[in-house]
Amino acid sequence: MQPTGQDISIHFQTELENPADIELVVVLPTFRRPDHLIKTLKTIVSQRPDVACATVVVENDPDASAGAEAAKAFFLEHRSDSTVIVAHRRGHSHACNAGLETALDLYPNLRALAVIYDDAVAAPEWLDGLIAVQEGHGADIVGGPQLPVFEDPDGQKWKHHPIFSPHYDATGPVPRLYSAGNVLITRAVLDAMPRPFLNPALNFVGVSDGDFFNRCRAKGFSFAWAAEAWVAETVPPEHTTASWIRARSLEQGAISTLLEHQRDATFTGRLRTLGKSMALLAASLPLGLKLWAKTGLATASLYHFHVAIGRLTASIGFAGEQFRSAGES
């Protein structure tokens, strides 16, 4: 990966403690959700971890900066160690990278940082829960549930669909994480991983997070899950339609294929990925019936089928791109 070269500017900053005393930073990327951003911030400043903590809000809409202005107004009324920055290059990867890099630059004795998105609110003891699991299991990276809160009351029926269900149920070590929307990352990881942390070439939601965690795993870093350290994620009505669920399932399948190709783009690796996709397609009927029985959702029975089709579509697209590249060389 090449350096992003992105511009980062400080929009607002308050200091109550010496920056050298800050050991924990909460990074909060935001894009065009100023009202919900305030809800998120209220749950962050109410946290009372045992270590000195600061908040870095990352505005990723430099043209309007509604989020930056909302955060500034909030911090003027709720005094705390805080920084509001503007990431002038748009995109999920750029926003997260800007937040992580700013936290490291401003707080030299940072021990860990947590990430939460602007469509979520944190549990009352969110940070304590993440820290306790990190210390208890000696994990390098700790994730927690992103529990859905449906704006449309009829959307509640989707609660147990795999699209909205946490990846793990129990607290303890886990093999990997998939999303940075509720995560604690230790300083050891940040010092060891090359910058930019999230690959800008994978600048669409889901892929850059998973790719970063895959690369952390390849370096030998360990993961854990904190079941009690949840955040509640607001789900808009348009994300509870059958068509959106189907599209998201296909996207999840495509994302998993792209991440596997990132890990191993050799011919053998591509064959292995294709084999996994075919196996999932073959098993999608019994898996779908089991999921239907578990969730009570008839439409959930198609989840594994759609994921398999998404995987196969991405594999074919990747193979086609490889073929075109070979023909041009």
pLDDT of 161 reads: 92
Reported residue count of the chain is 329
Tell me the average pLDDT of the chain.
90
pLDDT of 308 reads: 93
* Average pLDDT rounded to a whole number, residues 120-133: 98
Confidence label for 295 from pLDDT (cuts 50, 70 and 90):
confident
Residue 319 has pLDDT above 90, yes or no: no
- Note the Cα 35 to chain centre separation in Å: 21
pLDDT of 204 reads: 58
pLDDT of 184 reads: 98
Comparing CA positions, the residue from 212, 17, 54, 232 lying closest to residue 126 is 232
pLDDT of 266 reads: 87
User: What digits encode the pLDDT tens for the residues 40-61?
Assistant: 999 999 999 999 999 999 999 9
The values of phi and psi at residue 81, to 5°, are: -70, 115
User: What digits encode the pLDDT tens for the residues 52-111?
Assistant: 999 999 999 999 999 999 999 999 999 999 999 999 999 999 999 999 999 999 999 999
pLDDT of 324 reads: 39
161, 297 contact by CB (below 8 A): yes
Give the residue, 322 or 6, on which the prediction is more confident: 6
pLDDT of 314 reads: 86
pLDDT of 68 reads: 97
Confidence label for 34 from pLDDT (cuts 50, 70 and 90):
very high
Highest mean pLDDT among 45-49, 183-187, 301-305, 308-312: 183-187
* Average pLDDT rounded to a whole number, residues 164-190: 95
pLDDT of 258 reads: 83
Residue 265 has pLDDT above 70, yes or no: yes
Residue 130 has pLDDT above 70, yes or no: yes
Residue 196 has pLDDT above 50, yes or no: yes
Comparing CA positions, the residue from 180, 220, 201, 215 lying closest to residue 99 is 180
Residue 112 has pLDDT above 60, yes or no: yes
- Note the Cα 314 to chain centre separation in Å: 21
Whole-angstrom distance, CA of residue 325 vs CA of residue 315: 15
